[in-house]
Amino acid sequence: MSRFPVLFTGGYRVFFLAAGLFAVLAMLVWEGYLAIHAAGGMVNDLPFAPAPHLWHAHEMIFGYGSAAIAGFLLTAAPNWTNTRTAPVPFFAIASALWLAGRVAIWWSGSLPAPVVALADLAFLPVVGGSVAALLLKRFKPRQFIIVAVIGLIWVGNLLVHLEWMGWTDDSAAAGLRVGLLSIVALITILGGRVTPAFTRNAMIRTGREDGLPATPMPLAVVSIAGALLVPLSLIFGLEPVAAIAALLAGGAGLARLALWRGGWTVRQPILWTLHLSYGLNALGLLLFGAALLGYGSEIAALHVLGIGGVGGMTMSVMSRAALGHSGRALVAPTPVALAYAVIPAATVLRFVASAFPELYFPGILISGGLWIFAFTLYVAALWPVFWGERQRPTPADRQEART
C-alpha cells in the first residue's frame, strides 16, 4: 500500500515538509541569480514577472512563511479546542492551493496577472477559515487575534498583487513589509506563549519548583500590541507610528526574554533555539524601528527579522511540533540542533552584507548558503517523521503537544 496518503494526515507533515523543501529550492534560485551577477553576468528571460529581488522577498514571506504558519496552526488548533484534526482531503486540497500559488508566481511572466493573484491569494483564507471554525467550537475571544493576524498577512499579499496587476502604483513594497511584519507579530504572540511555557515544563520535570520563567502581563501587552501596530501602521503609510511601535515591541520583547531563564536551557537545543529566535525577533523590531527613524539600514533590519526571527522561530517550532505530534521524544536530532545554530550565523552574515556594501556579495552568498544548509539538515533529519507512522507519545510529550 502506498505511503503517500500518510503525508496528508496532519498539518505538521505536509506543510512542514513543504516549508522545508521550498526554503531550500527558493533560496537556490536566488543564490544562483546572485552568483551570476557577482561574477559579472546577466540573467534574462526569467519565467516570473516581478524583478528577481521582489520574487525572492515575496516567496520567502508568502511562500515559505504561509506554509510554516499553516502547518503550525492546523496542527495546534485541534489541540487547543480538543477536536479532531482535519481529514485527508482537506490537507490535500489546502496543500494543492499553496502549491498552485507557488507555480503561478513562478510562471507569472506568461500568465495574466489577475490569474496569478487569484491563485496566490486563495490559500490563506482557507487556512484562516479552518482555524476560525475550530476556535468557534470553544470560543475564546483572545484566540481570534491569531485569525486577525492571518488576515493582515493576506492583506500584505493583496497589496503586492494590486501593484503587479497595475491597479496601484506603489503598494508592493508596503505589502511585502506588511506581510513580513505581520508574521513577526504572530511570532511575538505565539513565541511569547510557547517559549516560557516549554521552558517551565522542562524545569518542572527536573524537580525544580522555584526560579521558573516569569511572564508579566504588562510586558506581554506592550510587546504584542506594539508588534500588531507595526503592520497596521504600514498599511496606512504611518511610518513614524510604526517606528515607535516597533521600538516598544522590541524593547518589551527583550525584557520578557530576560525573565524566561534562557541560561538554564543551554544544554537543550530544542529549548534554547526558541529563546534565541525570539530574541532575534525582538532585536529585529528594534533595528527596524531605528531604521524607520533614519538610524541604520532597513534592509539589514528586515533580514534580521526574516532570517533570525521568522526563519529561526519557524524552524524551532516546526521541528518541535513535528517530533511531539508524531509521538517522538522532544529531543532535537543532532542535524536539527546544528541547523538551529546555523540560522543565527546566517542572520549575522546577512546583516553584515547590508551594513557594509563592500561585503555585499560575499556576505549574502555565504548567508544564503548557510540557510540552504540548515534547511537541508532539517528536511533530511525529519523526513522519517513526515512520512512515518505516529508513535506512542509519553505523558509528558502529550501534555506539551496540547500547549
The 10s digit of each residue's pLDDT in 272-316 is 999 999 999 999 999 999 999 999 999 999 999 999 999 999 999
Q: How far is CA 16 from CA 63, 66, 161, 320, 366, in A?
A: 12, 10, 26, 11, 25
In this structure, of 52-66, 77-91, 237-251, the range with the lowest mean pLDDT score is 77-91
Give per-residue pLDDT as tens, 131-166: 999 888 877 777 889 999 999 999 999 999 999 999
Whether 98 contacts 18, CB under 8 Å: yes
Helices (H) and strands (E) in the chain, counts: 16, 0
Give per-residue pLDDT as tens, 365-377: 999 999 999 999 9
Q: When comparing pLDDT for 235 and 391, which is higher?
A: 235
Number of Cβ within 10 Å of residue 24's Cβ equals 17
| Nearest to 203, CA basis, from 125, 277, 262 | 262
- Flag whether pLDDT at 74 surpasses 90: yes
- Across residues 85-95, what is the average pLDDT? 93
**Cα separation, 336 vs 269, whole angstroms:** 9
Q: Which domains does the chain have, with CATH numbers?
A: 9-401 (1.20.210.10)
Q: What angle do CA 84, 328, 192 make, to 5 degrees?
A: 70
- What is the per-residue pLDDT for 393? 55
| Nearest to 144, CA basis, from 183, 188, 176, 189 | 189
Number of Cβ within 10 Å of residue 212's Cβ equals 17
Residues written for the chain = 403
**Cα separation, 297 vs 301, whole angstroms:** 6
**Cα separation, 371 vs 290, whole angstroms:** 26
| Nearest to 30, CA basis, from 49, 47, 46, 53 | 53
- Flag whether pLDDT at 3 surpasses 70: no
Eight-class DSSP state of 64: I
- Compute CA 118 distance to the chain's CA centroid, rounded to the nearest angstrom: 23
**Cα separation, 346 vs 87, whole angstroms:** 38
Q: What angle do CA 141, 145, 151 make, to 5 degrees?
A: 130
Give per-residue pLDDT as tens, 169-221: 999 999 999 999 999 999 999 999 999 999 999 999 989 888 899 999 999 99
Number of Cβ within 10 Å of residue 48's Cβ equals 20
- Flag whether pLDDT at 399 surpasses 70: no
- What is the per-residue pLDDT for 395? 55
Whether 20 contacts 375, CB under 8 Å: yes
Confidence of residue 1 (pLDDT cuts 50, 70, 90): very low
CA dihedral 7, 9, 13, 18 (to 10 degrees): 60
Confidence of residue 41 (pLDDT cuts 50, 70, 90): confident
Direct distance between the N- and C-terminal alpha carbons of the chain, in angstroms, rounded to an integer: 34
Query: What is the pTM for the complete model shown?
Result: 0.95
Number of Cβ within 10 Å of residue 32's Cβ equals 12
CA dihedral 47, 163, 294, 368 (to 10 degrees): -20
DSSP string, 182-208: HHHHHHHHHHHHHHHHHHHHHHHHTT-
Identify the residue whose cell numbers are 496601484. 168
Strands (E), 198-242: none
Give per-residue pLDDT as tens, 263-279: 999 999 999 999 999 99
